Structure 1
C-alpha cells in the first residue's frame, strides 16, 4: 500500500506538470523578465492576438501587455497582472498593472509591455529612459483583479460575424481575477441554449446561433477561492445583432 500511495502522489505531481492550472490572484510574486514593443507608440497595439482591436490599444489607459505562457491559448486574454522591475536603482515598488491583450515573447520574457507600461515601472522620468534603453529587464509579477470603475461588461460583435448564420464576439471590461472558461447563449423565449467555442484569442463563436433576443451565461474559474461560477448578465443581445455592434451587458463582476 505504501508503494501504491507513493506512486499515486508521483502521478498527480506529473499531471500538474503536464496540465498546469491557471494562476489565481495571489500575494506571491513570480520572478521573470519583461520587454516592450520597440515599434509601438506609448499605448498598446490594435492587432493583438486577443482580437480586441483598437480597444486593446487603449484599455487600462494603454497599460497593456503581450504574454507568452500566461496567454494560455486565449484564456489569459483580459487578465490583469501587477508587474514591477527589480533593479532598485531605477524601479519603483508599485510597478504597473497591465491587461493581457496579445501573445508573444522576447528574450526569455513572460511579458512584452507597451512602452507606456514599461516606463511606468520606473521611479522617475530619467529612470524610465534608462529602463527603455535596457530593452528587457528582470521583473516580478502577480495576478491581480481587473477594475474598471463605472464600466459594465460589454460584448463586441466581431467583424467576422454574418447575420444570422455565424455569431462571434469578444468580451470587454472583464473585471475581477477569474478567467472566462465557457460561454453559453440562450434563446430568451424558450431557453434553448448553445455552448460556444473559443475561436481564437478572446473570440467566442458559433455557427447557427440561437434566434431572437439572446441571453448570455459566462463560466468564471480561478481567483483566490478557485471556484467555478456561472454569471448571467442582465441585458440581452438583441435579435437583430450586427457585426461591429457593441452591447452593454448591464453587469459588473465583483472585484
Structure 2
C-alpha cells in the first residue's frame, strides 16, 4: 500500500489494486504519479489467450538496482521503461509464474469516481498537501493555494504527489489551483477546505479533470 507517490491506503485514495510502480525513466521524480497506462502482454507464451490488456495507475517508484544487469534483475535501471505491477493487475494479463513479461503500453486518460482529494498534513505555518484521485492525465505539474484572506500562493513540489507552502493559513478556508503535468490544463477547487481544517483530514472537490 502507499509508496513513493504518498497515496497511503490505495483504496481510500481511489486507486485500488490496478496499480504499478514505475521505473525511474517513467517516474520522472514524482511527476509520473497518478498517470494511467494501458498495458498489453505480448510475445510470450505466458500471455493469456487473446493478449488481453488492462489499465493501471502509477502509484510507486521501482528503484534501480545497480548491482544487477538491466536484462537480468535490474529491470528498473535507467533508461529502461518498466512496470512493476500489483499482482491482481498482472494476473489480468499473464500467468503469475512468468515473473517478467514483455508488454506494449500507452498512456490513456484516467477515469476517476468523484472529485479530486486533498489530504492535509503539516501545521499552522507549514501546509503539506497530498493530491489524490486525479482524473484526466492523472498527473500534476504545479499547485497553488489561496486562503480566504490571501492571494494565490505558489506551492513547492515536495515528493511524489505532495506539495507544500510555508505560510500561515490556519483559520482560513482554502482553495487550490492544480496544473496538469501532461496537458497544462488548470483545475480550480474553490473553498474545498473549511476554515477549521486540520492536519490528518482529507477534503474532496465536487469535480475533477476530465
Shared fold, TM over 0.5: yes
* Root mean square deviation of aligned Cα: 2.1
1:81 aligned to 2:37? yes
Instruction: Quote the offset at 1:219 in angstroms.
Output: 1.4
Q: Is the 8 A contact 2:127 2:164 kept in 1?
A: yes
Q: Which is greater in Rg?
A: 1
Distance 2:128 2:155 in 1: 9
2:163 counterpart (195, 200, 204)? 204
Unmatched segments (≥5 aa) in structure 1: 1-44, 123-127
C-alpha displacement of 1:58: 7.3
Could you tell me how far apart the structure 1 residues matched to 2:29 and 2:12 are?
20
What does residue 53 of structure 2 align with? Answer: 95
State the Cα distance separating 1:239 from its structure 2 match. Answer: 2.1
Alignment match of 2:175 (pick from 175, 194, 215)? 215
Q: Which residue of 2 aligns with 1:49?
A: 4
Q: CA deviation at 1:210?
A: 3.3
**Residues 148-185 of structure 1: CA deviation (Å, up to 9, x unaligned):** 23x11111113xx12x1111111111101253111001
Structure 2: stretches of 5+ with no match in the other structure: 64-72, 77-81
Conserved? CA contact 2:7–2:13, under 8 Å: no
Q: Which position in structure 2 is the counterpart of 1:136?
A: 100
CA distance 1:209–1:145, shift in 2 (3 Å): farther
Of 183, 186, 189 in structure 2, the residue corresponding to residue 233 of structure 1 is 189
Q: Secondary structure at the match of 1:82?
A: strand
Instruction: State the partner residue of 1:171.
Output: 131
Where does structure 1 differ by over 6 angstroms across 4 or more consecutive aligned residues?
none
Q: Is the 8 A contact 1:166 1:207 kept in 2?
A: yes
Correspondence for 1:60 among 4, 15, 26: 15
Higher-helix-fraction structure: 1
- Local SS of the residue matching 1:60: coil
C-alpha deviation, 1:241, in angstroms: 1.7
When the two structures are aligned, how many residues end up with a matched partner?
192
CA shift at 1:88, angstroms?
5.8
Instruction: Give yes or no for contact 1:94–1:121 (8 Å, CA) kept in 2.
Output: yes
Aligned 8 A contact 2:120 2:199 in 1: yes
Asked if the contact 2:34/2:138 (under 8 Å) is kept, the reply is no
Question: What is the alpha-carbon distance in structure 1 between the residues aligned to residue 12 and residue 74 of structure 2?
Answer: 23
Q: With structure 2 as the length reference, what TM-score do the two structures score?
A: 0.82
- What is the SS of the residue equivalent to 1:83? strand
